[in-house]
Structures are given as structure tokens and as C-alpha cells.
Amino acid sequence: MIVVAVVGPTATGKSDLALDLAEALGPGAAPATAGLVPGDAPAEIVNADAYQLYRGMDIGTAKVPPGERRGIAHHQLDVLDPHEDSSVARYQAAARADLDAIAARRARAVVVGGSGLYVRALLDEMNFPGTDPEIRTRLEERADREGRRALHAELARRDPAAAESIGPANTRRIVRALEVIEITGAPYTANLPRQEYVRPAVQIGLDCDRATLDARVEARVARMWESGLVDEVRRLASAEQGGTGPGLGTTAARAVGYAEILAWFRDETGEDEARAAVAANTRRLARKQMGWFGRDPRVRWLDAGSPSLLDDALAVVAAADTGALPRPEEGPVRRSLGA
């Protein structure tokens, strides 16, 4: 059964649409759209937001509260403690296992999230060769002894495409490429992510014009502040970070909404400045997310504010189910955020 992914920038309503889709794609629903393949079991949601993986990071990540999940099973939420650093490779293994289990139950999986790398790691052909300290040290020593151009020349012999992409000035990437070649026995470029689904999937992107999105961001930040975001950060942060909890690790402390408040706790800014920074950085994040997903021609873009959004999304899923979805180059063109 085709996996449905709801992607796009923050504050466009991805979680709400994912819940609506999960309800409509279960065995008890009777969608009006012809061609939909209902699951034999209730649809389930798989999170693809890097920060919603963390326990206790609820308000600042706009995590759907348990009581509002409509009885729909959710996966990859609250699987890490805030002091732990996340790993895309770990997420890939765990979330793909979730997809396997959902498929075994003959249910529909609905993936939702705005972390582009995590979405691609879950859906696309993406390998993580790992590292070998001995090989890396040997290559770094060679770079010091022979010069980076000598290593780049070797890379050009072993993987011309990688050498052309990396160039002779980037010692770190040259060393990494040669390390991967030695570890895997395959060209470095063979391990780069490709826009090829590892299982049948369709991505639905939520688009929004800039003015509307900025207004949504401002409203979201206001709700978060009123809902206790500052207290949430204080509970999670360590005493050294200005809080009373076990502490936020390197990854969690970088999250928008948390990094700015931590800076306020360190007396680097004030509350008003922190709140303004949260809104500004959320807007910046939305632009980055739109740029990431906008480069993927497979994403089918829908207007986040459309009154027929669910019906439009179900039509996309039905077209995918029946094999009638146009090829990416024939699909609709995404509007610019500046439109």
C-alpha cells in the first residue's frame, strides 16, 4: 500500500491534514474519491519531525497532544530524552521498521513532518556507510604528508563524479569520500541520496503565500507563549542552562523556540527579544523547508488554506493508488513563497 507523506513548511497545518487523511484512509471510512484503496486496519501516523522525537519537547515543537490524536496510532514521537543527540541513521532504521509493521497490518502509513532530511531518509534510497577511525586517520595523515591535491587525484581515479563534485580544496570531504570508498568497496557517489523511493510513496506538500504564512507563524508563537513554552524550556534545561531539569543536549538545544529562550536564560537577551527571535527564526525555518521540499519534483503541492484541502489530498492519494499520478515533470508547479 502506498505510503502517504504530508510535508512542507512549519505552521501550514501538516499535522491536522495528516490526522484527517488517517481517518479517511482507514477501513471504516467511505471517501467519495474513486480509486482510493482503503486499508484493512486503521491508518497510522509516522512522525518525520526531528524535534518531535524528544520527550517533553511538546509546546515548542507543536506536537499533537495525546488527547487530540483521535485514537490514531502515532510512531516516532517521544523516543529520545532531550539530552540525547538524534541520529538520522537511527531514525531511518526505527521508522522504516514502523512502516514495515504498519504494512504487515495491511494499514496505510501517513508520514508527517517538515524535517526534509528525515523524510528523505525514511522514503528514499539513502545509505549511511558509517566511519572507520583508522582509515580516516591514515587518510588525514596522507593529506598532511602528500597534500590534499594528491588525495583529490586519487579520488578522481576511483570516483571521477565525486572528485568533480567535491573539488580539490575541500580536504574534509575528500577524506570522507575516500573513507567511504574503502569501507564499502563502492564509489562514494553510489552512497549519496537519490530521489528514488524505497517503497511506493506519494508526497503531498502544503503551500502558503508569504503573508499568510507569516501571520500563521506569529499566531503560533503567541499560542506557544500563552501555553507555557517558557516553563517547558525551564523544566527541560539544566541549571547550567538556566533551568531546573536534566538538560538539553546539543541537538535539542538548537531547536527553534528553545535556543532563543536558552539565550534569554543566559542573560544574553530579554524576554521580548527572545520572543521576537522565535518568530523570526520560525519564519526563516519555513523558508528553508520550502526551499528543501520545493526542489523535489515529486511533491504534489496543495493550497494549505483551501476549503477543499482534504478532498484535494484524497484525490492525489487516489491518483497514486491507481497509477494515474502524472510524472513529476508533468505535475503542478509550486507557487513561490513570495507570491
Q: Which residue numbers belong to the known binding site?
A: 8-15
Q: Which three cell numbers stand for residue 77?
A: 514521537
Q: Residues forming the annotated binding site for ATP?
A: 8-15
Angle between the 309-322 and 14-24 helix axes, to the nearest 10 degrees? 60
Q: What angle do CA 41, 73, 42 make, to 5 degrees?
A: 15
* DSSP per-residue codes, 277-333: HHHHHHHHHHHHHHHHHHT-TTEEEEETT-TTHHHHHHHHHHHHHHT-PPPGGGSPP
* Contact assessment for residue 299 and residue 230, using Cβ atoms and an 8 Å cutoff: no
Residues in the chain: 339
* DSSP per-residue codes, 66-122: GGGSTT--EESSS-B-TTSPP-HHHHHHHHHHHHHHHHHTTEEEEEE-S-HHHHHHH
Q: Residues forming the annotated binding site for substrate?
A: 10-15
